[in-house]
Structures are given as structure tokens and as C-alpha cells.
Amino acid sequence: GGGPAMYTGKGLLVLRDGRTLPLTYQFGSNSDDTRAGYLFCDLSDVDPAALFYRLRVVCDDGTDLVVAVAHSSDRYLAVIGRVSAPGVSQ
């Protein structure tokens, strides 16, 4: 039981051009296959236009997400996403 769990961990952000950036994620919602939360990474060298596309997040626990960016800064992205690999259980 307890309050709402925060899911945190590490992973990689995969940009549209194939570049990857190391990140730390923090997701608050974990309903079905939907995730919402924050990706913390250094985005200072990333063209902001690249963030308008769907991005991929590969989490170190094996979860593969497709995310859309709701808000961005040089240090984090606020995203909502969906688990893209069906049938993956923890």
C-alpha cells in the first residue's frame, strides 16, 4: 500500500537522428502502459526542433517507451509516453 509511487531509474533518450543521451527518469503515473513524468538530461546541444517528434526512451530495466514532449528546458523534458513493447512484465 502507501501513497503514489514514483518510478525512477536511468536510461537513454534516442533522438530522431539516432543520437543517444544518458538520462535519469522520474515517472509518477504508471497506469496500464502509460507513463508521465520527467526525463533529466543535458539537452544544451540538442536542437529544440528535434523535440517536436516522438522520441524513444530505453530504460535500464528493459522498458522501451515512445514519448511526446510537453515541456522542455536545457536540463529536463516533461513527457507523456507509452510502453512500446507489448507483453513485457516486471
pLDDT band at 85 (very low <50, low <70, confident <90, very high): low
What's the whole-number average pLDDT of the chain? 88
Fold of 7-83: Thrombin, subunit H (2.40.10)
Boundaries of every domain in the chain: 7-83
* pLDDT over 50 at 15, yes or no: yes
The pLDDT tens digits for 28-71 are 866 788 999 999 999 999 998 999 888 999 999 999 999 999 99
Distance of alpha carbon 77 from alpha carbon 1, whole angstroms: 29
Q: Could you give the percent of the chain with pLDDT greater than 70?
A: 87
Counting Cβ atoms within 10 Å, is residue 64 exposed (0-12), middle (13-18) or buried (19+)? middle
